[in-house]
Amino acid sequence: MIELANILLQILIFFIIFSFPFNERILNNTLKLKNINLGLIDSHVINIIFFSYLCLVISFLSIDPKLFFKIYFSISLIFLLLNIKFFFHQIRKRDFLKFSFFFLIIFSIFIFIAQNLRLEWDGHVWISKALVFFNNEQISKLNETIHGEYPHLGAYLWAFFWSNSFLELEYFGRFFYVYLYITSIFLIFKNSNINNYYIKIFLILFFILLTFEPYYFGGYQEYLIFSTLIIASRYIYIYNLTYRKNIRLIFLAFLILYINCWFKNEGKIYFIIFSSAIIYLADIKYYKKILFTLFVIFLILIQYFLQNNLVNIAGSIETNYLINFLNNFNDIQLLLIKFFKILLNMIIVFIKHPLWIIIFLSIFIQIFLLKKIDVNIKYFLICLILNLLIIMGVYISQDNIDFMLRVTLDRVLFQTSGFYFIIFLNILNIKKNLL
pLDDT tens for 361-410 read: 999 999 988 887 888 899 999 999 999 999 999 998 888 899 999 999 99
Instruction: Read off the pLDDT of each residue in 75-98 and give the average, rounded to a whole number.
Output: 77
The reply to whether 150 and 96 lie within a common domain is yes
| DSSP notation for 66-122 | HHHHHHHHHHHHHHHHHTHHHHHHHIIIIIHHHHHHHHHHHHHHHHHHHH-----HH
The reply to whether 133 and 237 lie within a common domain is yes
**pLDDT value for 431:** 61
Do 395 and 206 contact (CB within 8 A), yes or no?
Answer: no
Do 384 and 420 contact (CB within 8 A), yes or no?
Answer: yes
Q: Is 376 contained in some domain?
A: yes
Distance CA 65, CA 105 (A): 28
The reply to whether 56 and 24 lie within a common domain is yes
Instruction: Read off the pLDDT of each residue in 2-13 and give the average, rounded to a whole number.
Output: 90
pLDDT range class, residue 313, cuts 50, 70, 90: low
The reply to whether 184 and 60 lie within a common domain is yes
Q: Is 395 contained in some domain?
A: yes
**Could you give the percent of the chain with pLDDT greater than 70?**
91
Distance CA 380, CA 422 (A): 8
Of 273 and 37, which is predicted with more confidence? 273
Q: Is 126 contained in some domain?
A: yes
Q: Is 313 contained in some domain?
A: no
The reply to whether 193 and 76 lie within a common domain is yes
Q: With 0-12 CB in 10 A as exposed, 13-18 as middle and 19+ as buried, what is 208?
A: middle
Region of residue 353 (left: phi > 0; alpha: psi -120 to 50; beta: else): beta
| End residue of a domain, out of 297, 328, 346 | 297
User: Which amino acid, residue 186?
Assistant: F
pLDDT range class, residue 152, cuts 50, 70, 90: very high
Residue-range definition of the domain harbouring residue 157: 2-297
Distance CA 126, CA 151 (A): 10
| End residue of a domain, out of 238, 265, 297 | 297
Q: Is 312 contained in some domain?
A: no
Q: Which residues, at least 6 apart from 134, have a Cβ–Cβ distance to it below 8 Å?
A: 65, 159, 162, 163
Of the candidates 147, 416, 91, the residue with the CA atom closest to the CA atom of residue 271: 416
Indicate if the pLDDT at residue 416 is higher than 90: yes
The reply to whether 381 and 339 lie within a common domain is yes
Distances (CA, A) of 292 to 265, 276, 340: 22, 9, 37
Do 253 and 236 contact (CB within 8 A), yes or no?
Answer: yes
**pLDDT value for 32:** 82
The reply to whether 285 and 397 lie within a common domain is no
Q: Is 307 contained in some domain?
A: no
Cis? peptide before 214, omega within 30° of 0: no
| End residue of a domain, out of 297, 330, 360 | 297
pLDDT tens column, 92-150 = 555 677 778 899 999 999 999 999 888 888 889 999 999 999 999 988 898 888 888 89
Of the candidates 361, 425, 360, the residue with the CA atom closest to the CA atom of residue 185: 425
The reply to whether 344 and 202 lie within a common domain is no
Per DSSP, 421 falls in state T
**pLDDT value for 259:** 97
The reply to whether 259 and 356 lie within a common domain is no
Distances (CA, A) of 203 to 191, 192, 210, 324: 13, 10, 10, 44
Distance CA 122, CA 408 (A): 11
The reply to whether 326 and 221 lie within a common domain is no
**pLDDT value for 242:** 52
Q: Is 335 contained in some domain?
A: yes
The structure's pTM equals 0.94
The reply to whether 100 and 245 lie within a common domain is yes
Average pLDDT taken over every residue of the chain: 89
**pLDDT value for 25:** 87
Of 405 and 86, which is predicted with more confidence? 405
pLDDT range class, residue 326, cuts 50, 70, 90: low
**pLDDT value for 278:** 94
What is the SS3 assignment for 280-339?
A: HHCCCCHHHHHHHHHHHHHHHHHHHHHHHHHHCCCCCCCCHHHHHHHHHHHCHHHHHHHH
pLDDT tens column, 218-271 = 999 999 999 999 999 999 998 876 555 678 888 999 999 999 999 999 999 999
The reply to whether 260 and 343 lie within a common domain is no
Helix pair angle (422-434, 375-396), 10° resolution: 160
**pLDDT value for 435:** 46
Q: Is 116 contained in some domain?
A: yes
pLDDT range class, residue 299, cuts 50, 70, 90: very high
The separation between CA 55 and the C-alpha centre of its own chain, rounded to angstroms, equals: 16
Number of domains in the chain: 2
